[in-house]
Structure 1
Amino acid sequence: MSRLVLALDTATPAVTAGVVRFGSGIEMLAERVTVDPRAHAETLTPNIVGALADAGVDVGELDAVVVGCGPGPFTGLRVGMASAAAFGHALGIPAYGVCSLDAIAAGTTGEVLVVTDARRREVYWARYRDGVRVDGPAVNAATDVPSGAAGLVGVAGSPEHAALFDLPRLAPVSPSATGLVAVVADWDAEPEPLVPLYLRRPDAKPSAVKR
């Protein structure tokens, strides 16, 4: 069965929207990516509209939505997830959530470390074997990430943060539309509710109630 899938991710500075045909294989029809860590809300919708237009797909033709659920910063992450939930609800189609780090690792071979910016001088990370997660996701200072074990062939993800590790650089730097689609566990199952992987509390805290 062939599906037309809208794939979204706002877990990293790369604001990604793509249209993918998924059936016997995964075919990228169109993808729009804008790299701006402070403009997720402003750029996601234009990227969605642009990707649909580039693919020649009407929004009513979509069969599913896939969204990266992080880990990622609170403000950016919720933009993509809220948009995916809105599309799913409005169109009556399933919305699948996946780990954004899994999407970066999709298609890699061997033992691979994936890292993205967690701010506060920390990184989000996970470790993979042939694209399958074997450790993480977690958030740590780069010096506390277990990267020295034998067998790691390289590090993918944020170039700035990958440079903190004494490992060969691998090409994937952010979740792609095809990577997001590739890591959906079961297309025939009812999708689980979308749950963000913040891994820590948001910076903003409610003020104490005065007595």
Structure 2
Amino acid sequence: MLLALDLSTAHGSIAVVHGDDVLYQSSFQSERSHNAQVFAPLKEALAAAGNHLTGIVIGNGPGSYTGVRIAIAAAQGIALSRNIWCAAWCSLAGLDLDTPATYQIIGDARRQSFYLASIENGRLLPDLEIVSAEIAQKKASDCGIWYTTDPKAPLNLPVQIAKPDAAKLAKIVQSLPPDELAALIAQPLIPHYLAEAFITLPKRPLSTP
């Protein structure tokens, strides 16, 4: 039985999954206050699971850094208290609609850039691209159906807006082969960074005493 959380967008999602059965599912809208809104449904989810949880899955983005960090902190706290494992999976891999096995995602990567991603059978393909607005506009206009987890369509493109679904993320992870699941559990829980952190350097050297 798995508990799953995704707080990578303004739409929070929590679920408890056992095999094909979703024993609990809740969602909430929160622009910048996941920490204030997540604990009531999380308490309900834990009550629904009882003492039968074996692991926790969090969606690690890409998306809201703060939201993903809250999900990580909550998962680690619960996992430590219950002596169970926790693991991260790409939030883009489980959307709240009947998507095809393979689909494409576009999203705002900030600093006037956009990310283009492909999902295949519940997995993020490794060639995620960070591109300019011009390239994003051309690629997303030229081929296939595109989705976004942004609150509105990037660049006013005709893309479909979707939200990560915690229950779908849990089902993907529970279906992994045992060796792959073990390797995933061994990895640290970190947000999916689209780019290196941007650090502003001081214009003048700091004075020393």
TM-score normalised by L of structure 1: 0.76
Paired position in structure 2 for 1:20: 17
Alpha-carbon distance, 1:84 to partner: 1.1
Q: Would you say the 8 A contact 1:16–1:47 is kept in 2?
A: no
Relative distance call for 1:121 and 1:21 in structure 2 (3 A) is farther
Paired position in structure 1 for 2:49: 57
Alpha-carbon distance, 1:57 to partner: 2.5
Relative distance call for 1:37 and 1:209 in structure 2 (3 A) is farther
Paired position in structure 2 for 1:186: 176
Relative distance call for 1:128 and 1:204 in structure 2 (3 A) is same
Which protein is bigger by CA-based radius of gyration? 2
Unpaired segments ≥5 residues, structure 1: none
Alpha-carbon distance, 1:197 to partner: 0.8
CA distance in 1, matches of 2:158, 2:37: 34
Paired position in structure 2 for 1:198: 193
Alpha-carbon distance, 1:51 to partner: 2.9
Paired position in structure 1 for 2:88: 97
CA distance in 2, matches of 1:8, 1:206: 36
Alpha-carbon distance, 1:204 to partner: 7.8
CA distance in 1, matches of 2:153, 2:127: 17
Q: Would you say the 8 A contact 1:18–1:29 is kept in 2?
A: yes
CA RMSD of aligned residues (A): 3.1
Q: Would you say the 8 A contact 1:12–1:117 is kept in 2?
A: no
CA distance in 2, matches of 1:11, 1:141: 23
Counterpart residue identity of residue 193, structure 1: P
Task: Give the structure with the higher percent helix.
Answer: 2
Relative distance call for 1:52 and 1:139 in structure 2 (3 A) is farther
SS of the equivalent of 1:34 reads: strand
Alpha-carbon distance, 1:112 to partner: 1.9
Paired position in structure 2 for 1:175: 164
Q: Would you say the 8 A contact 2:90–2:124 is kept in 1?
A: no
SS of the equivalent of 1:183 reads: helix
The 5-angstrom pairing of residues 132-211 of structure 1 reads: 132-134=123-125, 136-140=127-131, 142-145=133-136, 146-150=139-143, 152-158=144-150, 160-161=152-153, 164-167=156-159, 169=160, 173-184=162-173, 186=176, 188=178, 189-190=181-182, 191=185, 192-202=187-197, 210-211=207-208
CA distance in 2, matches of 1:108, 1:34: 22
Deviations 1:70-110 (CA, angstroms, capped at 9, x unpaired): 11232222001111122112211110110111122896226
CA distance in 1, matches of 2:97, 2:197: 28
Relative distance call for 1:81 and 1:187 in structure 2 (3 A) is farther
Q: How many residues align?
A: 198
Q: Would you say the 8 A contact 1:6–1:65 is kept in 2?
A: yes
Q: Would you say the 8 A contact 1:105–1:131 is kept in 2?
A: no
Alpha-carbon distance, 1:158 to partner: 3.3
TM-score normalised by L of structure 2: 0.77
Unpaired segments ≥5 residues, structure 2: none
Relative distance call for 1:186 and 1:156 in structure 2 (3 A) is same
